[in-house]
Amino acid sequence: MARKISGGRYKKARKKKLSDVAGMPRKTILGALKKKNLRTRGGKAKPVLISADKASVLDPKTKKAKVCKINAVLEVPSNRLLRNVLMKGVVIQTELGKARITNRPSQDGFVHAVLI
What is the per-residue pLDDT for 31?
95
Spatial CA neighbour of 54 closest among 111, 113, 97: 111
Architecture per CATH, 28-115: Roll (3.10)
**75 and 89 Cβ atoms separated by less than 8 Å:** no
Query: Domain spans of the chain?
Result: 28-115
What is the per-residue pLDDT for 22?
84
For residues 84-115, one letter each, b for 16 or more C-beta atoms within 10 angstroms of the residue's C-beta and e for the rest, the string is ebbbbebbbebeeeebbbebbbbeebebbbeb
pLDDT surpasses 70 at 1: no
What is the per-residue pLDDT for 40?
85
CB neighbours (10 Å) of residue 7?
6
At 23, the pLDDT band (50, 70, 90 cuts) reads confident
Look over the chain and give the mean of its residue pLDDT values, rounded to a whole number: 92
pLDDT tens per residue across span 56-86? 999 999 999 999 999 999 999 999 898 999 9
What is the per-residue pLDDT for 116?
92
